[in-house]
Structure 1
Amino acid sequence: MPRSAQPGSVRPVRHHIAGGRDHGGGIGRLVGYVVDADPARQRHRVQDTRGPRFRPLPSGLMLAGAILAMVGDRIAGGDRLQHFHIAGRGSTARKLILARMARLLGLDYVLHLHDFDYAADLARRPAWQQSAICRMFWNARRVVVLGARDRATVQGLLGVPGDRITILRNCVPDPMADHGADPGPDSTGHVCRIVFLGQLGARKGVPELLEALARLRNLPWTATLAGDGPLAQIRAQVAGLGLQDRIDIPGWIDQPRARALCSRGDILVLPSHAEGMAMAVVEGLAHGMAVVTTRVGAHDEVLTHDRTCLFVPVGDAAALADTLAGLIADPVRRLRLAGAGRALFLSRMEIGGYVARLSDLHDDLAATPCPKREMA
């Protein structure tokens, strides 16, 4: 078994993410923030388990590389904690392999669930896969989830005891930390800047968003929809609506460009059909934008309608249009929501507190002997 950490020691951690920091989507950005924010700079290592996208041979080689990295950790002494970031679909298949290898090597591991609806993903799988997934979760030293819904899935469907489940909300660094300035008031005649960050597809509510924006063509706004997906198709839809001069579709953008975009935004809109806890929403709060989103995942565990955000019904383009129209026309309300949202971010979602809680979790596991609990 892994050797015990000495009192006051800092336990090293290896994060396993499909795509790594650069191509791991919201999960990759989150782990990147953790790596950059942790004062123990050598504590965290990031392991890409798939590559930028799934391709059988290259992705298989990346997975083999992750296994070899774990073998290296075992040879080095076995005290490096394996932190597996897991979602549904192919992510679960890869983590089943990695978790089994961790058990064979005698390495501790944590499962960190980021999926938008893991209960539905689990229900679609055959019984033998469900059994293997239960064993994987059961044998984790700790399971980290984004909210109460996921905790209920892990405890109720996968049988993990409640005392081995930890809720950690997604967080981001404070983008205003360097200058400490809150967003200023809108000027008269201001063209409202709407920002969307995420995959450009149906799950994120992009069809309803385009329909809603088409209803608002007589109001003063511009919009940027940034993310990957069927870009040519989305751009064609925008052109078909006659909004190509008002809606920019830049595709996927890196973190510096995303930060620059958000720093100029007034409204962050994410009309998703399913989420865990959307990183885009947290970014919107951090940048002092008024947030418009849906009651999915852990959103309504954290946000309050008409105080820190505005909720709209899932799939309702008319309601989304009405909500956006109201904010475009009312800069005072927009600033009120933005200010309350940023205050919420500073109190509960800034990366410093997240890193401290995550580090405490890792170190607590190092100080506690690992029980032998292989599930039948």
Structure 2
Amino acid sequence: MRSEIGHPTARHYVAGGCEHGGGIGRLVGYVVDNAPARGCHYVTDTRGPRWSVMRSPPVLAVALAEMLVDRVLLPNRVHHLHIAGRGSTARKVILGTVARWTGCRHVVHLHDYDYAGDLIRRPAWQQWMIRRLFRGANHVIVLGRRDRSTVVDLLGVEPARVSILRNCVPDPGSRERDAPRAGAPVGIVFLGQLGTRKGVPELLDALASPVMDSGNWHATLAGDGPVEDYTERAAALGLTSRVSLPGWLGEADARALCAGADILVLPSHGEGFAMAVLEGLAHGLAVVTTRVGAHDEVLKDERSCLFVPVGDARALARALARLVADPALRTRLSEGGRTLFLSQFGIEGYVIRLEDLHRTIARTAAPAWRTV
């Protein structure tokens, strides 16, 4: 069960693995890379790079086989099921059922941006299976108080078996900002999937707003999704020379982009706790975002970020224009965000808390089936 220095081992189940698992995959990759002992955290793909009728079921079958092999060879290994809504839930219901049948100790880790909404739209038989998944786990991890309420109040998990563990990112290190070069534009960065949930349509509208005309800025919207469609939309708004859409960036390129930027903007309509916001805080960027998910549980308006209403392009434009025009405000938010990151979101503390939880679960018998 343990490595040579006493760390528990765990197998993480992530759709797409670390490479194609989106924000969840990035988080798990950070855990793997920053664990004190190598070989303590294993990652198993449950879907493949994208859902495919032909390819995804065999990938899930391999994941189930690995769980069964672990049960025989490493019976105390903790199986960590990372779950979101939609297809992710179906796969984790299957994995969770097999884990309970075979006596595998397992954690359900909820990452979804609106799991309560996804749950109530499902038929009664699916809701029953989901409740059984969550109630049958040794422990449930959530990102914030909203999700804790969903798990306790809607899914019926005992409060003592639910922990809040917010996301984290590695520390890129503090940076000494050089004095701005004469004429250098203020760098605005968006990181995430290009789409309506992340607020990209109103972000483009905000950047095209008249209040942004006089500022000296350049925005980079980095992420996958319909890049060509949004490139055409930016051109139609007259933003071709001021907005770049490079598509998805790998970790190194994303870090380089943040290192040279000044503002991180994420006008999202729904989040658990956005990895992009954490990247902005870690890099000392002035963050502009919305009060969704667990954001307003830890971020403070005018101190570690600027909050704007969801879907309000005018308010977003005013916030961005204000930051572009006011370097002192950017510095204040940068320092406040960086301080918040160092106090709550470092990867080292996250891994310690996670491994403490795994160690506790490894010593605990799997809970009995609960009726719904």
User: Per-residue CA shift, 1:119-176, capped at 9, x if unaligned?
Assistant: 0000110000000000000011110000000000000000001110000111000011
Identity %: 58
Q: Equivalents in 1 of 2:229, 2:220: separation in Å? A: 16
CA contact (8 A) 1:194 1:221 kept: yes
Name the structure 2 match of 1:341.
Answer: 337
1:32 CA drift (Å): 0.4
- Match 1:307 to one of 285, 294, 303: 303
User: Per-residue CA shift, 1:17-52, capped at 9, x if unaligned?
Assistant: 001000000100000000010011110000010011
Q: Does 1:144 align with 2:141?
A: yes
Cα 1:251–1:117 change in 2 (3 A) is same
Name the structure 2 match of 1:69.
Answer: 66
Q: Equivalents in 2 of 1:53, 1:302: separation in Å? A: 33
- Match 1:190 to one of 184, 188, 199: 184
Q: Equivalents in 1 of 2:101, 2:136: separation in Å? A: 12
Q: Does 1:98 align with 2:95?
A: yes
Q: Where does 1:76-115 land on structure 2 (aligned, <5 Å)?
A: 76-115=73-112
Stretch deviating more after TM superposition (343-352 or 186-195): 186-195
Q: Does 1:267 align with 2:256?
A: no
1:366 CA drift (Å): 1.3
Name the structure 2 match of 1:214.
Answer: 208
User: Which amino acid in the other structure matches residue 315 of structure 2?
Assistant: A
Name the structure 2 match of 1:223.
Answer: 219
Q: Does 1:120 align with 2:107?
A: no
Cα 1:363–1:182 change in 2 (3 A) is farther
Task: Please provide the CA RMSD for this pair.
Answer: 1.6
What secondary structure does 1:200 align onto? coil
Q: Does 1:35 align with 2:32?
A: yes
CA contact (8 A) 1:183 1:288 kept: no
Cα 1:368–1:41 change in 2 (3 A) is same
CA contact (8 A) 1:193 1:223 kept: yes
1:101 CA drift (Å): 1.1
User: Per-residue CA shift, 1:293-322, capped at 9, x if unaligned?
Assistant: 000000000100000000000000000000
- Match 2:371 to one of 369, 372, 375: 375
Name the structure 1 match of 2:240.
Answer: 244
Name the structure 2 match of 1:201.
Answer: 195
User: Which amino acid in the other structure matches residue 196 of structure 1?
Assistant: F
Q: Equivalents in 2 of 1:321, 1:308: separation in Å? A: 19
User: Which amino acid in the other structure matches residue 161 of structure 1?
Assistant: E
Q: Equivalents in 2 of 1:221, 1:332: separation in Å? A: 16
Q: Equivalents in 1 of 2:149, 2:178: separation in Å? A: 41
Q: Equivalents in 1 of 2:334, 2:179: separation in Å? A: 11
User: Which amino acid in the other structure matches residue 22 of structure 2?
Assistant: G
Q: Equivalents in 2 of 1:160, 1:60: separation in Å? A: 29
1:190 CA drift (Å): 3.5
1:375 CA drift (Å): 3.0
What secondary structure does 2:70 align onto? helix
Q: Where does 1:3-42 land on structure 2 (aligned, <5 Å)?
A: 9-42=6-39
- Match 1:232 to one of 215, 224, 228: 228
Q: Equivalents in 2 of 1:183, 1:125: separation in Å? A: 50
1:5 CA drift (Å): 7.5
Q: Equivalents in 2 of 1:204, 1:185: separation in Å? A: 32
1:15 CA drift (Å): 0.2
CA contact (8 A) 1:186 1:331 kept: no
Q: Equivalents in 2 of 1:95, 1:77: separation in Å? A: 21
What secondary structure does 2:292 align onto? coil
- Match 1:44 to one of 41, 46, 50: 41
Structure 1 alignment gaps of length 5 or more: none
Paired residue total = 370
1:181 CA drift (Å): 3.2
Stretch deviating more after TM superposition (218-227 or 365-374): 365-374
Q: Equivalents in 2 of 1:182, 1:62: separation in Å? A: 46
CA contact (8 A) 1:182 1:288 kept: no
Q: Equivalents in 1 of 2:317, 2:355: separation in Å? A: 43
Cα 1:267–1:211 change in 2 (3 A) is same
The TM-score, its normalising length taken from structure 1, stands at 0.95
User: Which amino acid in the other structure matches residue 200 of structure 1?
Assistant: L
| Stretches (4+) displaced over 4 A | none
1:370 CA drift (Å): 3.0
CA contact (8 A) 1:276 1:297 kept: yes
